[in-house]
Structures are given as structure tokens and as C-alpha cells.
Amino acid sequence: MKRSTLLTAGFLSLAPAAAFAHPHIFVEARLEIVAAPDGSIQELRNVWRFDEVFSSSVVMDFDKNTDLKLEPNELAEVGKTVRDSLADYDYYMNLTINGKNITVQKPDIIHVDYKEGQLLMFFAVKPVEKMPLKGKLSFGVYDPTLYTSIDFPTDNELAIVGDGFKACKRAVVRPDADQVISENKQSLTDAFFNDPTGTNMSKLFATRLEVTC
């Protein structure tokens, strides 16, 4: 239990102030959206690289033999903990097709590595229902509590893969926080005071890839 406490708490802190709190975990991410041969979304491949402070705390929490490293079995335990912990939060995936929200299946496994002082996670998820490449599709990764900041360093880190996208146009949207607050001040305030732990208004601030086919 001790080994999973910090990691679970770090990802799933839902204290009332968390909805508009400053992030405590910082992640550099890459997302690859893969098209299936039938012209739908096949899977979404994620790579997450965590900041050194959080990474070192995970090492301390999961290092069973106290050698200041993470052995393969310890890395597997980290992946299992995250796989179980984030299931109810859809692994921070935010998918829509023509405005309709789409959830994802639980990944088979979350692969974890620890290199140069940083924790890395690799995993793929599939939509729970078919997402044909028709109309407007949106893909984002964000933590609704804002406890974890997920950033895509360049637009190229939001990638599309497969011939199915040949007839589609892609655009990376990076919302301006000041503009979002200005345009949604009342709804953001209402969401916070009515349900500070359950609001998903933070998605307004999240970087996303929009694909129009």
C-alpha cells in the first residue's frame, strides 16, 4: 500500500481547491493518433515524460530494495498502479467526434522506464466505440483537476499516422488562458463553486489536435 500511496495521490488529488490549483506534476507528452485500414481511429499512442522532482519521489516510493534505482519488477508495479488509478479518469484522454465525447478502453499495459532522472510511460488506448474519420475530431490529454500539467513541447508531438488521414486537415489548438478566462468567467466560477472536484472545465485550457475530414 505504501508504494502506491504517493503515485496514486499525485495523479488523483481531488481536494476542493485542486480544480484551479497550480500543477504539482509536470509532464512532457507525445500523442500519436493511428488510423485503421477501415478509415476509423485504431488507437492512440501516448508517451509521458515526468519532471525530475516527481520522478525521484516515485523512485523513493517504489524502490523495494533501496538501491536508488527501479528494477524491472518495480517499474512494472508503477505501471500497474497508474493503469488501475487512472481508469476512472479515462487516462486523461479527451476525445470527441462532431462534439460527442468518446471514452477509451483500459490499456493492456503501461510500460514504464526511468532514464536520466526522469520517469517515462508508454501506453496505447483504443476508443470504446468506432470513431470514423468523418467530420470534426478532437484529441487532447489533460488532467481535469489541473494537478498534473501535460504539455506538448511542439506541435509535432501531436501526430497523425496512417493513410486514412490523407484527406483530412489537422490543426493544433493551444488556447490562450487569459482569453479562455475572459470568455468563460461566469461558467468557470459557477463550475468551481457548484462542484469544485467534478468540473471538467479545465479542458478549455488544454492543448488539443483537431482533425477535419
pLDDT digits (tens, 9 = 90+) for 144-203: 877 888 999 999 999 999 999 999 999 999 987 667 666 565 655 555 545 544 445 566
Pairing mode of beta strands 100-102, 148-151: unpaired
Are 25 and 86 in contact by the 8 Å Cβ rule? The answer is no
Classify residue 101 by its DSSP letter: E
Q: What is the pTM of this model?
A: 0.84
Which helix (H) or strand (E) element contains residue 46?
Answer: strand 41-50
**What pLDDT does 155 receive?**
97
What mean pLDDT, rounded, does the chain reach?
Answer: 84
Residue 64 is placed in which grid cell? 523495494
Domain extent for 187 = 2-212
Number of domains in the chain: 1
For residues 133 and 168, the answer to whether their CB atoms sit within 8 Å is yes
**Residue linked to cell 493544433:** 172
Q: Could you tell me how far CA 107 lies from the centroid of its own chain?
A: 13
Spell out the residues 6+ positions from residue 158 whose beta carbon is closer than 8 angstroms to its own.
Answer: 30, 31, 139, 152, 172, 207, 208, 209
Look at 19-28, 90-99, 108-117 and tell me which has the smallest mean pLDDT: 19-28
